[in-house]
Amino acid sequence: MKKLFLLILLTIMVSCNSTKRVKKAMLSGEYDKAINLAIKQIQKGKDNKKTAEQIVILEQAFKKYQDDKLKNIKLLQKDPTAQVEKKVYENYLDLYRTQRSIKPFLPLYKNDKKVKFKFKDISSELILAKKKYAEYLYKQGQSYMQKGEKQSYRTAFDILNQLNQIAPDYKNTNQLLDEASFLGKNFVFVKAYNDTDVSIPESLESDILDFNTYGLDDQWTVYHANKKDGNPYQFQINLIFENILFSPERIIEREKSIEKTVKITEIQTNRNGEIKTDSLGNELTIEKNIKASGLLTTVSQNKTVSIAAQVDYINMNTGQKINDFKLDSQFVFENTFASFNGDERALSEEQKLLLNNKAVPFPSHEQMLFDASEDVKIKLKSILKRHPIR
């Protein structure tokens, strides 16, 4: 019973609070907010006594909202010099949507009398406003296209994209969008140069410059390692390998004496070598510490390749370098294995694992370059992301 009372009390408090919020929105002139709050309450049940007050507020709020919208539109239309097409269209659209949000709940009753909502039929005005706004956007888009500047093409694209959202397939909008997208892009040609004495396989260059794996392209910048006909390349990025150095193949052998105290369990025997047992016949054991020792021989194979490169940004229209960045990379081949002569109980788990390793052939210079290329790609991508061409 107590829980039911609390539930009823909570419902009353929520209802009162909702009514206060609607009234507050009305008093502050936020008629659209008052309409939305009232509709939410009415959704809970049109026959609810508490809903009657919300219906009255909804009626008043909608009348004021509709009057305000229509007055605002008239004021906008009185100024022929202002670019008001967007505002007029949006005002009509807001009013149309608000009317539609109320209609599903009709009829509504106040004191057993049907409440009359005087919906202004704005369908013709909305269509005309949309047409004028679409024409305005189309002319604006064309105007920016005619400026012939990269940023203007991008602005034109945004404007024409808005047009396509309110009026799909308007005139030749799709064609203009394609043109604006193409002409607003920065096409960047990326090329690798080898200024070292080391031969770099073509397949390695192709892998490093495979920009499909970089994920760098965005709406206004695309990177190509191979020039495509018809693309106006304004920028070039040169990856210049300046130095590639291979270390000698190193084999380092180390010997280490190992001694460790280990605990063992021994079965007890008598003087005759017979196993001792307890009264139940169980074998008797004893724990004791012993010294386990031996000689561990560890062999390490090591080979390193160090790459020094530079990334140059070139303006292809002027031929001038506009930026440059250092790119240094290193790849280390290392293999370690071991042998042991002695009691293996002296070894740690890590040392035991080394006993399972074997000597392997050293990688060739070419293989080392391929292994290092992954780090080169990561660092090149980092440079291009931190210093994008806009």
Identify whether the C-beta of residue 102 lies closer than 8 Å to the C-beta of residue 117: yes
Choose one of 92, 120, 148: the last residue of a domain. Answer: 120
Rounded Cα–Cα distance for residues 363 and 307 (Å) = 17
User: Are residues 114 and 158 located together in one domain of the fold?
Assistant: no
Rounded Cα–Cα distance for residues 91 and 299 (Å) = 81
- The answer to whether residue 292 is domain-embedded is no
User: Are residues 78 and 172 located together in one domain of the fold?
Assistant: no
For the chain, list the strands marked E by DSSP. 109-110, 113-114, 186-194, 221-224, 233-246, 250-267, 285-315, 320-342
User: Are residues 23 and 104 located together in one domain of the fold?
Assistant: yes
Domain count, the chain: 2
Q: Mind listing the pLDDT tens digit of every residue in the chain (390 residues)?
A: 444 444 444 444 444 466 777 778 787 778 888 889 989 888 887 656 668 888 888 999 999 999 999 999 999 988 766 679 999 999 999 999 999 999 998 898 888 888 889 999 999 999 999 999 999 999 999 999 999 999 999 999 999 999 999 999 999 999 999 999 999 999 999 999 999 999 999 999 999 998 877 889 999 999 999 999 999 999 999 999 999 999 999 999 999 998 888 777 777 777 777 777 777 777 777 777 878 889 999 999 999 999 999 999 999 999 999 999 999 999 999 999 999 998 888 888 899 899 999 999 999 999 999 999 999 999 999 999 999 998
Domain that holds residue 154: 137-183
Tokens read off for 267 = 């079965």
Give whole-number Cα distances, 49 to 41, 52, 55, 113, in Å. 11, 6, 10, 14
- The answer to whether residue 29 is domain-embedded is yes
User: Are residues 28 and 80 located together in one domain of the fold?
Assistant: yes
Contacts of residue 261, Cβ cutoff 8 Å, sequence gap at least 6:
289, 290, 291, 292
- The answer to whether residue 266 is domain-embedded is no
Question: Hey, what's the torsion of the CAs at 200, 202, 207, 211, to 10 degrees?
Answer: 110
Choose one of 120, 148, 175: the last residue of a domain. Answer: 120
60: nearest Cα among 115, 101, 113, 121: 115
- The answer to whether residue 144 is domain-embedded is yes
356: nearest Cα among 365, 364, 347: 347
- The answer to whether residue 210 is domain-embedded is no
So what's the pLDDT on residue 11? 45
User: Are residues 114 and 153 located together in one domain of the fold?
Assistant: no
Identify whether the C-beta of residue 154 lies closer than 8 Å to the C-beta of residue 184: yes
User: Are residues 169 and 74 located together in one domain of the fold?
Assistant: no
- The answer to whether residue 268 is domain-embedded is no
- The answer to whether residue 367 is domain-embedded is no
Tokens read off for 317 = 């229209």
- The answer to whether residue 276 is domain-embedded is no
pTM equals 0.73
User: Are residues 61 and 146 located together in one domain of the fold?
Assistant: no
